[in-house]
Structure 1
Amino acid sequence: MTIRPGFGLAIVGLGASLAPLDIAVNVALPAITAHFKLALGDVQWLVICYVLVYGSLMLVCGKLGDLFGHRLIFRIGLAISALGCAACAAAPDWGLFLWARGAQGIGTALALSCTPALATSLFPESERTKALAGFASSMAIAAAVGPFLGGVLVELWGWPAVYWVRVPIALATLALSGLLPSPKPDSRPFDALGAVLLAACMSTLLLSLVFSQRREVAGLWALALAAVAVFLLVAYVRRANSVPEPIIRPSLFADPRFTIPNVLNALANLAGFAILLLTPYYLVNVLKLSPLGVGIVLAMAYGGSLTGAPLSAFLVARIGQRPTVFAGVACVGLGLLPLGFTEINTPVLVVAALLVLEGVGQGLLTVAYTDIVTATLPPRDRGVAGSLSLLTRTIGIVAGASVLTALQAHGAQGFMNMAGFLAGYRFAFVAAGGGLLVVLLTSLLWPGVWSSQPRSRRRS
C-alpha cells in the first residue's frame, strides 16, 4: 500500500513529538519532588537518567535502523516508549521511577534516531529538504505545546498525567506506523564492539558534562570522566578504522566542511539553551510576568522555529545548504546577544522579538545542517546521518546547562539579590551570543566551508 507523503510525515512527526513533549516534565518537577519526598538536587537525576541513555545510544540506534529497517526500529522504540512512560506514571518509589526513565530513554533513542530517515524516505530525493523541514516543524510544535500541556495536565490530574498522556500517542503512532515504507534489511554486519565503545564514550562524555555543573560532585570526577571519554573515543577510532562497516566513519570528521557545521550546530544549541535555562527567571523575577505570560513569551522562540524551518527549505533550494546554515547560526547569535543588554524596563515585546529571531535561526540551522549531514553520508546510512544531527543538538544542550550556569554565576559575582541575577543573566547572554558569533566568523578562515556546492555530491 502506497501512503501519501504528507500523511506519512504526520505519522513520523507524531512519533518524534514524544521527545520534545518531555519538556512538560519540567512543569511537573515540583510535584514529583513533593510526591517522592526528594531533596531539590536529587530530582535532577530524573533528567540525567533520560538524557544519558538516549544520548549515548542515538548513533548506535541509527545504525540499527540502517541495517534492520528504520520502520522496525522506530516501532520497537514506540513500544518501549509507551511502556517506559506508563512505568514512570505508575512507579511506586523513586528507584523504580529512575529505572523507568532509563527505559523511556531507550525507547526515545530507538524511535527518534530513525525519524529523519523515515521522513526523507517518504519523498523523492529532490524533495529531501522539504521532508526535513516538515519534520523540524513537527518537533517545534511539540516543544511549544509541551509547557502549556504540562501545566494543564498537572493542574487537572497531577504529575503522572505528563507521562500517561504520551502512552496513547505512542500506541496510536505504533498502530499507524505499519503504513510507513519498510525497505528490506541490509546484509552488512553490525559492529557490536564498536557500538559498545561508542555508546560508552557518549554516556561518559555526557555524564562528565552533567557532573561539571553539580556542586556536590568534586570537579575531579568530571575531569576523570572526560579523560575516560577521550580514551574510549580513541579506542573507538582504532576499532572503526579496522573494520569494514563501523557505526560511523571517523574519517568524515577530517574534512572541515563536515566537522565545522557539526560543531556549530552543537554550539548554537548550547547558546540557545540559555533561553530555557535563564529567561524564565528573568521574565518572572525581573519583568514580573505571570506563568501564563512566561509560557507565551517563551513560545515565541518555537514560533520562530516554525517559520525558520520552511524558510530554510526555500533558501537551500536557492542559495544552498551552507549559506543557509551560516545565516541560521548568525540569526541565533544576533537574537541572543542583545538579550545581554536587557534591563528591568525592557519592553516585553522587544524580548519576544529577539526570541523569535533566535527561533528563526534555529529553524534555518536545523533543516539545512541536517541536509548537509544527510547529503554527506551515503543513502544507506540515513539512520546514522539523522541520529548524528540529533546527537550534536543533545551534546550542545547538556553542555549548555553546565557552561551557562557557570557564566551566570561568574557575571553575578560582586552583586546581591536581583541585581546579581540580572548581572549574571546579561553576562551569560553576551558571552553565549557573542561567543557564537565569534566562532562563526572564525570559521571563515577555512576556505570553502560555507560555499555552496551541488547537493548531489556525496561521500561514499
Structure 2
Amino acid sequence: MRRTHLAFGFVLIGLWAVVLESMAVTVALPAIASDFAIPASTATWVVGMSQFIIVALLLPMAALGEAIGIRRLYVIGLLVFAVMSVACILTPSFAALVIARAFQAVGTAAVMSINFALARVLYPSKSLGTAIGIMATSVAIATTAGPALAGVLLEISGWRAVFLLMLVCSVIGGIGAAILLPPNQPSNRRYDLQDAVLVALTLVCVLYVLNGLAAGWSRGMIAAAAIGAIAGFVRLTRVSRGKVGAVFPLDLLALPVFNLSVVAAIFAFAAQSVGFIFLPFYLVLDAGLSPMDMAIVLSVWPFSTALLAPVLGWMSDRLPAGPIGAVGLFVFAAGFVLLALMPPDVGAAGVALRLAACGIGFAAFQTPNNRLVMLSAPPDRSGAASGVISLARQFGRALGTAIAAVLLAAAPAGATTAMTVAAGLALVGATAAVLRARAIRDRTAH
C-alpha cells in the first residue's frame, strides 16, 4: 500500500505539470509578447492553440491508452511534455515557441486523458472516491498557486523559468511513475487511426463554434464549423455503433448513469466559468474592491473546494454518491442565487461567504460525480471514461465562456443577470443528477 500511495503522489506531481501548462503560461503572456516584440493578441496563440489541440486529442489519447496501456501512455506523455518544455526554454523565436507548445499540448492531452484511469488502476472501488478527491484538491491547489508561482518566477528570472518549473514537475512525475506504477495489460485492440482523426476534427469544430461565439469571429466560419461538427457526430455515431473500444465511446455514452453524469458535469463547469468571468468585474467595478482584495476574495472558492474534496470523496466511498452529487449542485446553484441577490454594500466578507457556498457545493458534486463516471464504465474502458471526464470539463468551460461573452456584450456590468444564468446552468446539472439517481435505483432494482 505504501508503494501505491507513493506512485499516486508521483501521478499528482505529473498532473501539476500539465495544470501549470495553462495557468502559469497565461500569466507569462505579457512578458513573452514584450520579449519577442509582438502584439498581445498574437502572444495569446501560445495558450489558445494549445487548448484546441488538447481538446481534439483527449478521446483519441484515451483510446490509445487503452490500446497500449495507460501506464505506458502516461510516461510517454510526460516525456513529450518534458522535451517540449526544454524546447520552449531554448526557443530562439516566437514561431519556434508556438511549434514547441503545439507538441507540448500533445503530451498534456496524453496525461489529462487518463489521470482518473490511473487512480482506478491504483485503488480499489472502495477507495476510489478518496483518491479522486485528493486529485481534485491537487488540481485546485495548482490552479490557485500556479499564477502566483509564475509571477514570482517572472519577477526573478523571466518567462523561460515558468517552463523550467513545468520541466521539473514533469521529469519528477514521469520518473516516479515509470518506476512505481503497476504495469497494466493493454487491450490489444486495434487502434483505429481514421476514427481518431475524425473525432479530433469534430471536437475542433465544436470548440471553434464555442470560442467563435465568445470572441465574435466570422459568422460564416462559425456556421461552417457547426455543420462540420454535426456531420462529424453523425458519422461517428454510425461507425462507432456496436464497435468494441471505439475512439468515440458510444458504448459508454449509451449508459444512463454515465451520460447523465457527463451532462451534469458540463453544465456545472459552464456555471463555474460564467461565475469566474463575471465576478472580477463585479468585485472591482461594483463592490469597489482593490485588485489585491479581489484576488483574496476569489481564492475562497478554490480553497473551499480543495479543503473539502478529499472529505467528500471519502464520503462517496461510504454513502450513495449520486445523492451527494445532486445535493452539491443544488448548494452550488444556491450560492449563485445568493450572489445574484447581494446588496451593493455587502462587503468582502459577505461575498466570500457566498463564494464559499459555491466552492463547497462544487466540491460536493465534482468528486462523487467523477467516481460514478469511472465506476459506471467497465474496467477495460477506464481510459475512455477518464477521457470523457476531462473533455466534459473542457467543453463546460468553453460553453460557459461563450455564454459569458454574450452576456458581457448585452450588459457589461450585469453581474446579477450573470449570476442568475449561472444558477440556472447549475440547476440544469442538478436535474441531470436527480435523473441519474433514479437511473441508479432502476439499475440496482434489476
TM-score by length of 1: 0.89
What's the counterpart of residue 417 of structure 1? none
Distance in 1 separating the partners of 2:341 and 2:411: 13
CA drift of 1:14 comes to 0.8
1:158-237 paired onto structure 2 within 5 Å? 158-177=158-177, 178-215=179-216, 217-237=217-237
Structure (1/2) with the larger helix percentage: 2
Assess, with a 3 A threshold, how the Cα gap between structure 1 residues 65 and 247 changes in structure 2: closer, same or farther. same
C-alpha displacement of 1:368: 1.2
How far residue 344 of structure 1 moved from its aligned partner, in angstroms, is 4.5
Question: Aligned in 2, Cα 1:186/1:410: closer, same or farther, shift over 3 Å?
Answer: same
Inter-partner Cα distance in structure 2 for 1:164 and 1:353: 37
**For residue 430 of structure 1, what is the amino acid of its counterpart?**
T
* Worse-superposed segment, 220-229 or 337-346: 337-346
Unaligned runs of 5+ in 1: 413-420
Change (3 A) 1:382 1:258: closer
**1:309 and 1:135 mapped to 2: Cα distance?**
9
2:334 equivalent to 1:334: yes
Secondary structure at the aligned position of 2:168 is classed as helix
Q: How far, CA to CA, are the matches of 2:344 and 2:35 in structure 1?
A: 36
Q: Which residue of 2 aligns with 1:250?
A: 250
Stretch moving more, 185-194 or 49-58: 185-194
Residue in structure 1 matched with residue 9 of structure 2 by the alignment? 10
Aligned-pair Cα RMSD in Å: 2.5
Equivalences for residues 352-363 of structure 1 within 5 A: 352-363=352-363
Q: 1:451 to 1:291 in 2, by over 3 A?
A: farther
Instruction: Say if 2:78 is the partner of 1:78.
Output: yes
C-alpha contact 2:71 2:183 (8 A) present in aligned 1: yes
Distance 1:442 1:173, change over 3 A: closer
How many Å separate the matches in 2 of 1:451 and 1:33? 55
Residues 410 and 240 (structure 1), Cα distance of their counterparts in 2 relative to 1, 3 Å cut: same
Q: Alpha-carbon deviation of 1:16?
A: 0.9
1:288 to partner: Cα distance: 4.3
Note the C-alpha offset of 1:166: 0.7
Correspondence list, 1:445-456, <5 A:
448-449=438-439, 451=441
Q: Structure 2 length normalisation: TM-score?
A: 0.92
Distance in 2 (alpha carbons) for counterparts of 1:32 and 1:10: 32
| Residues 287 and 31 of structure 1: CA distance in aligned 2, closer, same or farther (over 3 Å) | farther
Deviation (angstroms), 1:292? 3.7
1:118 aligns with 2:118: yes
Q: Distance in 1 between matches of 2:180 and 2:167?
A: 20
Q: Distance in 1 between matches of 2:11 and 2:442?
A: 30
**1:300, distance to aligned residue in structure 2 (A):** 1.4
Segment drifting more, 74-83 vs 250-259: 250-259
Over 3 Å counting, the alpha-carbon distance change for 1:160 and 1:243 in structure 2 is same
Matched, 1:427 2:426: no
Q: 1:14 to 1:447 in 2, by over 3 A?
A: closer
2-side partners of 1:83 and 1:284: how far apart?
A: 41
Q: Distance in 1 between matches of 2:164 and 2:249?
A: 39
Please show how residues 130-145 of structure 1 align to structure 2 within 5 Å.
Answer: 130-145=130-145
Are positions 1:65 and 2:65 aligned together? yes
What are the ranges of 5 or more consecutive residues in structure 2 without an aligned counterpart? none
- Give the superposition deviation at 1:352: 1.5
Asked if 2 retains the 8 angstrom alpha-carbon contact of 1:116 and 1:386, the reply is yes
Find the counterpart in structure 1 of residue 378 from structure 2.
378
Structure 2 distance, partners of 1:7, 1:148, is 27
**Local SS of the residue matching 1:92:** coil
Q: CA deviation at 1:299?
A: 2.0
Identity rate, percent: 27
